[in-house]
Structure 1
């Protein structure tokens, strides 16, 4: 990172963390995010430890803005984003439902992007880089944490988003006739499907993932059978699963 940009970003992150005015904090974080997005990912990664220090901010809006920044920066600098994803897992259990919900939304986007990168990287290069394998481990932890939220006690709004995440998970790992070449190379915009990696992948095990998706379907069906114990919104969410 160029010296001037690095110093400016550090000063902005310090202001976002320590300034007494909330508006200044939010503006400083936004400006720091813009700098980190503008430089090469490897240079931006040097400041990630300073960025994640904001997770201890007492202001909800700062923490929410941090999650949004983590998603935007992390998806651009995916190779270096493990430290950022770890913050999302911490925020899943934040006492403020606004933070927990934003963590699930951003975590869902991360999960889908990592899956697509796993499939594309192996398809194009015949291998998967170590950093991507490590990032997938974080995605599995994310899925397990969101499943625990869906099944445990907590605010209805957070639980509904957790179930939406699980719906995405199940759809990704339910095989269909999607053709990987057409979907990924011709840019049809289709979401990842497990059929993309049927036939062998060094990280993704289709049989295991489809089995886990079926297990989660069973868990949600069990919840539906005990619908009297769920709120109306949660029951509708389960019923509306595709």
Structure 2
């Protein structure tokens, strides 16, 4: 099966990388995604290094779609997706705002999916596999990178998405409010993968509720500090922070 998959996918990957027609590139990449999602995960993972080659595509729409492929792979089966996590961080710094914004959206959905899997795996087996622990380390790094975007020069739209991610982060690690599930579903968009800190009962080997709650509180205070310096913050960013912080 792995050999057949490679035989089908490699010409498509070559077209996605080298063809002169953007429509052909995107169509080829979509076909590769469909092949990967229909294949056995360990066989599909053999193609991931070839996907990484597309990160240097000159076409922003190809790089953006590549992130969507990463998201679908991650949400379909996390176990082998750590191979692709470097892609998330490279494209988070992409010179195209379209691509960098998609990196935040993709990372947000994977972040929530990893949290959910960490909780469920521990509940089922009272342990967490190493690959999932490694993925969580990537997610901690992602949170730090998105946090940093608020203080770097860059497009306002990117900063607004960074605030949205931080809102989700705060909600994930704050004890339930009456409307938290509804707000979370609206914030997460099409995938609506949710997690609740109350699921972390017992001594989870990776997630410490007290530490995570304290960091969520620090993140909330960070947004409040930005509001206090509103005179030096773009008006739209101030409005976004106000809207996000009234949970």
- Same fold judged by TM-score > 0.5? yes
How many angstroms does 1:193 deviate by?
Answer: 1.7
Q: Which residue of 1 aligns with 2:13?
A: 13
* Counterpart for residue 101 of structure 1: 101
Q: TM-score, normalised by structure 1?
A: 0.92
Within 2, Cα distance between the matches of 1:66 and 1:19?
16
Alignment coverage as a number of residue pairs: 232
- Alpha-carbon spacing, 1:31–1:160, altered in 2? closer, same or farther (3 Å): same
Q: Residues 41 and 76 of structure 1 are in contact (CA less than 8 Å); yes or no, is this contact kept in structure 2? A: no
Answering whether residue 128 of structure 2 is matched by residue 128 of structure 1, we say yes
Where does residue 229 of structure 1 map in the other structure? 232
Deviation for aligned residue 1:151: 2.6
**Quick one: structure 1 residues 191 and 86, their matched pair in 2 at CA, closer, same or farther if it must change by over 3 Å?**
same
Aligned to 1:239: 242
**Separation in structure 2 between the aligned mates of residue 198 and residue 168 of structure 1, nearest angstrom:** 21
Q: Does 1:196 align with 2:199?
A: yes
Instruction: Please identify, of 115-124 and 66-75, the stretch whose mean Cα deviation from structure 2 is larger.
Output: 66-75
Matching residue of 1:83:
83
Moved over 4 A (4+): none
The Cα offsets for residues 179-216 of structure 1, whole Å up to 9 and x where unpaired, read as xxxxxxxxxx8831212114320000111111111111
Partner of residue 147, structure 1: 147
Structure 2 Cα separation of the partners of residues 151 and 116 of structure 1: 29
CA contact (8 A) 1:177 1:195 kept: no
What corresponds to 2:22 in structure 1?
22
Q: Does 1:176 align with 2:179?
A: no
Query: Could you tell me how far apart the structure 1 residues matched to 2:77 and 2:218 are?
Result: 33
The farther-off stretch of 158-167 and 190-199 is 190-199
1:119 aligned counterpart, secondary structure: helix
- Render the CA deviation track for 1:45-103: whole Å, top value 9, x for unaligned: 01100011100001011101111111112221310001222211111111110001000
Gapped regions of structure 2 (runs ≥ 5): 179-191
Structure 1 unaligned segments of length 5 or more: list them: 179-188
Q: In the TM superposition, what is the alpha-carbon distance from 1:152 to its structure 2 partner?
A: 2.2
In structure 2, C-alpha distance between the alignment counterparts of 1:150 and 1:108, rounded to whole Å? 16
Contact conserved, 2:2 with 2:44, CA < 8 A, in 1? no
Residue aligning to 2:188: none
Partner of 1:158: 158
Q: Give the corresponding residue for 1:184.
A: none
SS, match of residue 15 in structure 1? helix
Is 192-201 or 91-100 further displaced after alignment?
192-201
**1:211 and 2:214 correspond:** yes
Q: CA deviation at 1:10?
A: 1.0
Deviation at 1:177, TM superposition (A): 7.9
1:111 aligns with 2:111: yes
Contact conserved, 1:121 with 1:127, CA < 8 A, in 2? yes
TM-score relative to the length of structure 2: 0.90
Q: Give the Å deviation of 1:176.
A: 2.9
Structure-2 residue corresponding to 1:183: none
1:22 Cα deviation after fit: 1.2
1:234 deviates by: 0.5
Residue 183 of structure 2: aligned partner = none
